[in-house]
A and B are shown apart, each in its own frame.
Chain A
Amino acid sequence: MTEAGHGRYLFAVARGVGEQGVAGVTGIRGAPLDVVPHRDLEAVVCEVDLAEFGEVALTRNLEDLAWLEEVARAHNEVVFAAASRGTVAPMRLVTIYADDQSVRARIEELYDDLTAALDRVEGRREWSVKVFTQPDAEPGAEEAARAEVGSGPGAGAAYLRRKRDQATRRQASREQAVELAGQVHRALGDQSVASRRLAPQDPRLTGRTETMVLNAAYLVPVEQGDDFRAAAEQLDARHHELSVEVEGPWPPYSFATLE
């Protein structure tokens, strides 16, 4: 694989965006965007340098969080802009073709599937809902237990018993939280045309002490977005033991998938 030359970075396959739909938005590293038409579909692309995006460089760059974030943000800016003007099927990060002819050929091959994917998300937006368990309700429990059993004979056994009871209670409350998260997911599923559960995020990435018990995406008609947000907020108010957090509307990242 040569690392010299340029490639065409594909952001999304779209419908109804047009050149003017992404006017004022730039691609990777400020490169101008091109909207390449093929039949009634469009490929939103820009030029990238293979010295940066070739296989060898990419393996190194993907390990660099700042690099990854810059490319992910640029990708997202383009997808958001296109989605505000037309219907989009966003590509996975870093999809690069040799030239526009290769992009067109691939769209032609997958034309029916791409059209079906775009039909599915047209006029709809993605909403993200995460459910966290609240931090432990009794933060001083351990200290209290220690103080209560004192230091007399049998104190060690009593202390261990209390620790075991605490662990049992925590396990039970975690199971209950998972069950409630399932209820939240089903309730929001009823408010959307499609839903998808994603893997819960690592606490080291969210920076949260609470446990994420639901990380889900919902596909909702544009005009029902306010209702969906209100439904999520109601669920948050109803379940004091959970934190239900809703964000959106986003482009249909999780739903414009090929069957």
Chain B
Amino acid sequence: MTELRTTTEASAEPPSSPQISLVDLLDRLLGTGVVLAGDVLISLAGVDLVQVRLHALITSVRSDMPAPGPRQDQ
């Protein structure tokens, strides 16, 4: 099962095997990385990233993990 909650113990320099949680990583790799585009062959610039996140992530997480507890604000 995919572990989404791994955290990292960091040292002064980035370690060779960084353990950033997948959620944090995707925040950055889908949300904030440089988009160079231009005569790019393939890029995610045109892909609906919201859809990627919701479909790929939440759907998988739902089937893998129990819900994080009862919601009380409904």
Instruction: Give A contacts to B, CB under 8 Å.
Output: 7, 10, 13, 25, 50, 53-55, 58-59, 62-66, 68-69, 72-73, 75-77, 80-81, 83-84, 89-98, 102, 105-106, 109-110, 117, 125, 128, 136, 142, 167, 170, 196, 198-199, 201-209, 215, 217, 222, 225-226, 247-251, 253-254, 256-258
A96-B42, A206-B23 are known contacts; what are 9 more A-B pairs with Cβ within 8 Å? A63-B55, A72-B22, A92-B43, A106-B38, A199-B27, A204-B58, A247-B8, A250-B18, A253-B28
Interface centre among A55, A77, A91, A226 (most CB of B within 10 A): A91
Also in contact, A205 and B4, with CB within 8 A (given A58-B42, A170-B73, A198-B27)? yes
Asked if A95 and B36 sit within 8 Å, CB to CB, the answer is yes
Q: SS class of chain A's interface: helix, strand, loop or mixed?
A: mixed
Contact pick for A204, options B10, B33, B36, B68, CB 8 Å: B68
Contact pick for A95, options B5, B16, B40, B62, CB 8 Å: B40
Give Cα distance in the complex from A38 to B30, angstroms.
Answer: 26
Give the distance to chain B from A147, nearest Cβ to Cβ, in Å.
18
Also in contact, A247 and B24, with CB within 8 A (given A92-B35, A204-B68, A206-B5)? yes
Asked if B30 and A93 sit within 8 Å, CB to CB, the answer is yes
Give the A-B contact count at a CB cut-off of 8 A. Answer: 182
Give the distance to chain B from A81, nearest Cβ to Cβ, in Å.
7
Asked if B65 and A207 sit within 8 Å, CB to CB, the answer is yes
Give Cα distance in the complex from A91 to B18, angstroms.
Answer: 18
Binary contact readout B45-74 vs A (1 if CB under 8 angstroms, 0 otherwise)? 101000010011111111001011100110
Q: Quick one: closest A residue to B27, CB to CB?
A: A198
Q: How many residues of B contact A (CB 8 A)?
A: 53
Give Cα distance in the complex from A245 to B73, angstroms.
Answer: 25
Contact pick for B60, options A65, A84, A225, A249, CB 8 Å: A65
Give the distance to chain B from A169, nearest Cβ to Cβ, in Å.
12
**Which chain B residues border A258 with CB–CB below 8 Å?**
34-35
Give Cα distance in the complex from A22 to B8, angstroms.
Answer: 22
Give the distance to chain A from B44, nearest Cβ to Cβ, in Å.
5
What are 21 sample pairs from A and B whose C-beta atoms fall under 8 A apart?
A: A25-B16, A55-B42, A58-B47, A65-B57, A66-B2, A76-B20, A80-B18, A91-B36, A93-B26, A98-B41, A105-B38, A106-B39, A198-B27, A201-B27, A203-B68, A204-B61, A209-B69, A249-B10, A249-B14, A250-B28, A258-B35
